[in-house]
Amino acid sequence: MAWQWFHRLGSPRWFYQKTNVWLPWLALASVVLLSVGTVWGLGFAPEDAKQGNSYRIIFIHVPAAFLALAGYYIMAISGAIGLIWKMKLSFAVMRAAAPIGAVLTFISLFTGAVWGKPTWGTYWVWDARITSMLILLFLYIGVMALSQAVSREQVADKASALLALVGTVNIPIIYKSVDWWFTLHQPATIRLTESSSIDPSMFYPLLTMIIGFYCMYAWTLLTHTRALLLRREVRTQWAQQELAGGK
């Protein structure tokens, strides 16, 4: 009995109808937070004493990297739940999370390269942080490819969930790489246990952008999951009703 709520959560129909209500709010929150954060960060936050204006790329670089890492856990944990409880919904979440995570990883690598040129003097180095981030991109692409590679959907789900789970090893490595080894990449600025080494006038717009990215991530993930569910369940009655009602 205690697990009943959990199994109901796994029902695609229930999920589809519940999230319908959340989507507009998530969309509104992401648009507002991201616009406020962008204008605040790019227009009103002071420039950095050493890096001048080029530091402003952190307002995209840092939130994208945060979500690239957090999104991997979302993908892997959904895969694990799917493996254990054989839940269609959680496999759909896993499949939906892979391309979003890949795009966020690419954004953080790309903005990092753009930032690296004026500050470090190079676009790319093979240090531990940047290389492990590149491996994360390949893991996301691997999960995407594997989930499309097998025509039997259940087999593809299982295989990509296993790959996602094995890849979780990389996440703490990315996170701690700047502390464990000598890297060109600087250590973390925002720390949970100690005080952050960023001035409050720059930290608050950054925080706004991070929360905005979280909202945008949730919005994109839900929208993509819903689309995948409709396609998988297209023969069921509820999906037919939703499709007919949407027109």
Partner 1 sequence: MHPVRKQRLILVLVLVTLSSVAVGFVTYAMRENMDYFYAPSAFAAGEVPFEKRIRAGGCVVPGSVQRAEDSLDVRFVITDGEAELAVVFDKILPDLFAEGEAAVISGRLMQDGTMRADQVLAKHDETYTPPEVAESMVSHESCADGAKI
Instruction: List contacts with partner 1 (CB under 8 A).
Output: 3, 46-51, 55, 58, 80, 83-85, 118-122, 125-128, 162, 165-166, 168-170, 173, 177, 180-184, 186-189, 197-199, 201-202
- For 88, what's the count of Cα atoms within 13 Å in the CB-facing half-sphere? 15
Kindly tell me which of 124 and 238 has the beta carbon lying closer to partner 1. 124
Kindly tell me which of 189 and 240 has the beta carbon lying closer to partner 1. 189
Q: Are 81 and 89 in contact (CB under 8 A)?
A: no
Kindly tell me which of 202 and 222 has the beta carbon lying closer to partner 1. 202
Q: How far apart (Å, rounded) are the C-alpha atoms in residues 102 and 142?
A: 10
Q: How far is the CB of 85 from partner 1 (least distance, A)?
A: 6
Q: How far apart (Å, rounded) are the C-alpha atoms in residues 163 and 143?
A: 7
Q: In whole angstroms, how far apart are CA 98 and each of 37, 78, 109, 159?
A: 26, 11, 16, 14
Kindly tell me which of 154 and 197 has the beta carbon lying closer to partner 1. 197
| Cβ within 8 Å of residue 1, ≥6 positions away | none
Q: State the distance between the two ends of the chain, measured CA to CA, in whole angstroms.
A: 39
Kindly tell me which of 26 and 57 has the beta carbon lying closer to partner 1. 57
Q: How far is the CB of 232 from partner 1 (least distance, A)?
A: 22
Q: How far is the CB of 106 from partner 1 (least distance, A)?
A: 22
Q: How far is the CB of 57 from partner 1 (least distance, A)?
A: 12
Q: How far is the CB of 202 from partner 1 (least distance, A)?
A: 5
Q: How far apart (Å, rounded) are the C-alpha atoms in residues 153 and 157?
A: 6
